[in-house]
Chains A and B, each alone.
Chain A
Amino acid sequence: MSIFGAVWQWFANPAHWQGPDGIPTRLGEHLQLSAESVLLGAVIALPVGIALGHYGRFGNLAINISNVGRAVPSFGILVIAFQVFGLGDLPIILALTALAIPPMVTNSYVALREVDPDVRDAARGMGYRELAQLYRVELPLAVPLIMAGVRTSAVQVVATATLAALIAGGGFGRYIVDGFAQLNYPMTIAGAVLVALLALATELSLSGVERLLVPRGIRLLTAPTLRRASTFKVA
């Protein structure tokens, strides 16, 4: 039987759709690990990036954190976290959060820096106070790039969460890692297909969220392609 047929049979087997090793459970684990890490990362990274961009300070730091983040091997960080904190979700979430932070800091910094200085001056001239200017003028203009950073981080976290299976974590990576260990290639490939689909779904759904969050008047100004401040891939 061809490998494609075997993979198809793996997906068709109802046993793979239930129980602690079933697709719904693994999907839940994968999404939970990823969502917690991205949220934690966003809570840390976005205020920092937005503040640095608003005040225009420490630009080198904000830009270079992505360059350094790109250089960090995600596999190494996961294993080090595992050696320090042992089994469980904690080391995985800490490692994923660390990887989620750099693109969000860099993109939100760039997003705030790219707000037209004339617009800032106009807002100040109209009597906006500092915070009102940030919330009602600068942030709406910065949403597309900030969200590009969140999307980049989220896709990388979903990808790196796959590696969590190597340190005994859950998620779709289990199928790949266990499939390799048991020489069960249909399972490995099924896991790879699931991981790929989940990454693409993350990218697409966050693009949708971005579209909802961008005010209508600004949508016309932004060209969608090549709009990302930085490419970032760690897994």
Chain B
Amino acid sequence: MASRVFLDYVDPWVNWSWLGTHVPYVAAALQQHIVLTAIAVAGGFVIALPLGVVAQRSAAVRLPVLGTFGAFYTIPSLALFALLVPFTGIATTTTAEIPLIGYNVLILIRNVVVGLDAVPREVLDAADGMGYRPMARILRVELPLALPAIFAGLRVATVSTIGLITITAVIGLGGLGQLINQGLQESFHTPLVVATVLSIVLALVADVALATGQRFALPWARQA
């Protein structure tokens, strides 16, 4: 293989002069990537939070909800994109986001349920004894105590979504996935390598940013 890489391929893994002249192009792909990720995570969170609270309270809701989203989560994203294209159109944000939001709902519901399950019984009794109504108890006692688990879910959801967005290149979106696709179509290494590395870096930066955000938002939950 080495001979092939060194003799036949004149294309270097990163052509820095191409990169130098294509900064706005790469930045636009990165921006689309970030926007698509933000929609998928925020959308998943908005659906998962109330659903998770209800699911934690009632086994009759929990089992079908976790079962349905669990099956949805198992289905490969490319299959879901392909199934949606005739209905929601090719290269539309809707087609890209429905599967991604669905996956994030599963990740986040699980963590909401786990976080709420871990709230100590004594804390709930104390809140009841202090006269908290059910809604106030959820919002002001239970959810704040479940936040570390919810943050953990947000981190997993964000990192997974950043990787999955690249696959939307197949339906004409893709963010950084467009550059991967360009690298594939043109057998041109630079966009491929730059986009793959940027996607990994973006995921790790987002992960660290959320972990840092968690430390500031939940000073009482800082671990030693």
Interface residues of chain A, those whose CB is within 8 Å of chain B, are: 3, 67-68, 70-77, 79-80, 82-86, 155, 158-160, 162-163, 166-167, 173, 176-177, 179-180, 185, 188-189, 191-193, 195-196, 199-200, 203, 225-226, 230-235
Contacts and interface: CB of A to CB of B under 8 A. Distances in A.
A166 B163 CA distance: 17
Secondary structure of the B contact surface, majority rule: helix
B78 A189 contact: no
A232 B157 CA distance: 9
Interface in B171-203: 171, 176-177, 180, 183-184, 187, 189, 192-193, 195-196, 199-200, 203
Nearest to B200: A71
Contacts of A231: 73, 106-107, 110, 156, 160
B184 A3 contact: no
Contacts of A200: 71, 74-75
Secondary structure of the A contact surface, majority rule: helix
Nearest to A167: B184
Contacts of A67: 159, 207
Contact of B162 (A71, A185, A192): A71
A200 B70 CA distance: 10
Given A199-B75, A200-B75, A75 B167 contact: yes
Nearest to B113: A226
A95 to B, nearest CB: 12
A162 B114 contact: no
Contacts of B66: 225-226
A4 to B, nearest CB: 10
A76 B192 contact: yes
Contacts of A226: 66, 110, 113-114
Contacts of B154: none
Band of interface residues on B: 35 or more
Interface of B: 1, 4-5, 63, 66, 71, 73-80, 82-83, 85-86, 103, 106-107, 110, 113-114, 156, 159-160, 162-164, 166-167, 169-171, 176-177, 180, 183-184, 187, 189, 192-193, 195-196, 199-200, 203-204, 207
Contacts of A188: 82, 85
Given A71-B159, A71-B204, A226-B114, A199 B76 contact: yes
Contacts of B189: 83
Given A199-B74, A233-B160, A75 B82 contact: no
Contact of A70 (B71, B85, B159, B183): B159
A38 B71 CA distance: 21
Nearest to A82: B184
Given A3-B86, A67-B207, A158-B76, A83 B192 contact: yes
A87 B107 CA distance: 36
B177 A75 contact: yes
A188 B86 CA distance: 10
Contacts of B63: 225
Given A159-B76, A199-B74, A191 B159 contact: no
A235 B164 contact: yes
Given A225-B66, A226-B110, A234-B160, A72 B200 contact: yes
A60 to B, nearest CB: 14
A232 B83 CA distance: 22
A73 B76 contact: no
A114 to B, nearest CB: 16
Given A79-B192, A84-B1, A70 B163 contact: yes
A74 B177 CA distance: 10
11 contacts: A68-B200, A70-B203, A72-B163, A76-B195, A83-B183, A84-B1, A192-B80, A195-B75, A196-B83, A233-B73, A235-B78
A79 B80 CA distance: 21
B76 A71 contact: no
A40 B33 CA distance: 33
Contact of B160 (A3, A70, A86, A173): A70
Contact of B200 (A73, A85, A192, A203): A73
A159 B130 CA distance: 51
A68 to B, nearest CB: 8
A38 B38 CA distance: 32
